[in-house]
């Protein structure tokens, strides 16, 4: 096996893992604050990716413009979705609330996938952005890959600063630690939960644009992405952005090496296997916070 091929696979794995981490960031934030396991979270990336590819092919829009339009659209839709469908469930018993949120989000997953497939087709799509490649001997790195990597790093830093240095971030951490205490101190926990759900969903729209620049998407790939995001949360810790980034990169590289040295069709199963191993071997790690 050529070292150049191995290095190319590692670069692709790091890139894919970083994108997995971006998906996990929003899901981790939503669960940490709202206490909802949103099974439709990965489907938001699939749908956003399809919309991004359609906008690029139909109007030739720049990916940055597409991201700037998709993010607020997803924010508004997610905000209304939480208030209309998920917030009323919080008034029910714990069992009814848990089962209700699972049914609502799984139902949303199925509906979004079918509607998107019916409207745009179930074929795989991407954004074929043509940029020059950089060569280091036998190793070829596309400029697109470098831009995606820079976008992953930038979005991670922005989210970290937003959660650590702004009023919104302090309010999110307060509600996460003690919703009742935060309410006494003047923080409207219901509003913060709605904003957090919307913000976490909007980050997926940005991740979707970065994703389709290098990897294909289809309307039915969302659940697999959600499982990977759950795995990253378990490994990296809830609310731990650096930990999620490292866990995502590890998962992406592991999938790449599995496809290279074994069989590509076994690579997606790694996330499920990793989650089972962690749940059994490190039960106290589950639910850990930053």
Span 237-248, pLDDT tens digits: 777 788 888 888
Q: Tell me, what's the pLDDT at 290? A: 47
* Residue 255: pLDDT over 50: yes
Q: Quick one: what percent of the chain has pLDDT higher than 70?
A: 92
Q: What is the dihedral of CA 7, 8, 13, 14, to 10 degrees?
A: 70
The percentage of residues in the chain with a pLDDT greater than 90, rounded to a whole number, is: 40
Domain ranges for the chain, please list them.
3-285
Instruction: For residue range 6-18, list pLDDT tens digits in order.
Output: 888 888 888 988 9
With residue 245 as reference, give the H or E element that holds it: helix 241-261
First and final CA of the chain: distance in angstroms? Answer: 40
**Do 37 and 204 form a contact (C-beta atoms < 8 A)?**
no
Residue 77 CA to residue 194 CA, distance in Å, equals: 11
Cβ atoms < 10 Å from Cβ of 243: 20
Q: How far apart are CA 214 and CA 211, in angstroms?
A: 6
pLDDT at 252 over 60: yes
Measured CA to CA, the distance from residue 29 to residue 38 in angstroms comes to 11
- Helices 41-59 and 3-34 pack at an angle, to 10 degrees, of 120
pLDDT of residue 221: 93
Bridge partners of 136, per DSSP, are 139
Ranges of beta strands (E only) in the chain are: 133-136, 139-142
Reply yes or no on whether the pLDDT at 76 is more than 50: yes
Identify the CATH number of the domain defined by range 3-285. Answer: 1.10.3470
Looking at residue 267, its pLDDT comes to: 73
Question: What average pLDDT is seen over the chain?
Answer: 86
pLDDT at residue 241, as a whole number: 80
What pTM, to 2 d.p., does this model score?
Answer: 0.88
Burial of 105 by CB count in 10 Å (0-12 exposed, 13-18 middle, 19+ buried)? Answer: buried
pLDDT at 179 over 50: yes
Measured CA distances, 261 to 6, 18, 122, 257, 266 (Å): 10, 22, 30, 6, 11
């Amino acid at each position: 096996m050529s070292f150049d091929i191995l290095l190319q696979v590692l670069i692709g794995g790091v890139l894919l893992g970083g994108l997995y981490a971006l998906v996990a960031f929003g899901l981790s934030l939503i669960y940490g604050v709202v206490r909802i396991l949103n099974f439709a979270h990965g489907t938001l990336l699939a749908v956003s990716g399809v919309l991004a590819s359609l906008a690029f092919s139909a109007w030739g829009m720049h990916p940055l413009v597409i991201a700037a339009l998709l993010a607020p659209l997803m924010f508004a839709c997610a905000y209304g979705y939480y208030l209309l469908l998920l917030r009323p469930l919080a008034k029910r018993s714990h069992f009814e609330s848990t089962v209700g949120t699972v049914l609502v989000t799984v139902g949303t997953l199925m509906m979004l996938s079918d509607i998107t497939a019916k409207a745009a087709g179930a074929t795989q799509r991407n954004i074929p952005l043509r940029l020059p490649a950089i060569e280091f001997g036998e190793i070829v790195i596309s400029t697109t890959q470098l831009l995606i990597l820079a976008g992953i790093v930038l979005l991670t830093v922005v989210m970290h600063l937003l959660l650590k240095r702004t009023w919104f971030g302090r309010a999110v951490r307060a509600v996460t630690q003690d919703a009742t205490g935060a309410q006494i101190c003047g923080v409207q926990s219901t509003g913060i939960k709605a904003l957090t759900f919307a913000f976490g969903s909007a980050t997926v729209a940005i991740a979707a644009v970065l994703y389709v620049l290098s990897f294909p998407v289809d309307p039915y790939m969302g659940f697999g992405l959600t499982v990977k995001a759950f795995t990253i949360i378990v490994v990296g810790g809830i609310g731990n952005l650096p930990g999620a980034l490292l866990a995502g990169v590890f998962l992406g590289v592991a999938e790449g090496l599995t496809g290279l040295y074994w069989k590509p069709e076994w690579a997606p199963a790694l996330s499920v296997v990793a989650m089972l191993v962690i749940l059994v071997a490190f039960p106290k790690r589950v639910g850990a916070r930053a």
